[in-house]
Amino acid sequence: KNQVEQSPQSLIILEGKNCTLQCNYTVSPFSNLRWYKQDTGRGPVSLTIMTFSENTKSNGRYTATLDADTKQSSLHITASQLSDSASYICVVSDRGSTLGRLYFGRGTQLTVWP
């Protein structure tokens, strides 16, 4: 069964600290993996995409990693800011059809305290 599991479910950190969010998936075949950020009361916004051949990709203070062998991805946030408080959703796409199917994780709810 194709699944996407995220951990932790929720996380509280102090402003300025770093944190790492995890995403494990069983989706096969694999096409790509995206991390989305969803602010409260808003729709998700794409942060970064990882394809099969990519190991690491950065977008400002966000760095995503992908290990396609172990089917794991992480999102590392450096020097957290209050505006980083949001839900971070891992979404995996398969190559099972020409249009691809998306599998969503339940998200990690990050709270950054001053």
Partner 1 sequence: EADIYQTPRYLVIGTGKKITLECSQTMGHDKMYWYQQDPGMELHLIHYSYGVNSTEKGDLSSESTVSRIRTEHFPLTLESARPSHTSQYLCASSEGQRGALEKLFFGSGTQLSVL
Amino acid at 37: K
Q: Does 12 bind partner 1 (CB under 8 A)?
A: no
C-beta of 48 vs 80, nearer to partner 1? 48
| Measured CA distances, 54 to 3, 37, 87 (Å) | 21, 20, 24
C-beta of 18 vs 59, nearer to partner 1? 59
CA-CA distance, 40 to 30, in Å (whole number)?
30
Rounded CA Rg of the chain: 14
Shortest CB 40 distance to partner 1, Å: 11
Between residue 15 and residue 54, which ones bind partner 1 under the rule CB under 8 A? 31-32, 34, 36, 41-46, 49, 51
| Measured CA distances, 32 to 35, 91, 108 (Å) | 10, 8, 19
Shortest CB 102 distance to partner 1, Å: 7
Shortest CB 106 distance to partner 1, Å: 5
Between residue 52 and residue 111, which ones bind partner 1 under the rule CB under 8 A? 89, 93, 98-100, 102, 104-107, 109
Sole binder of partner 1 in the list 1, 9, 70, 114 (CB under 8 A): 9
My answer on whether omega of the bond before 8 falls inside 30° of 0, hence cis, is: yes
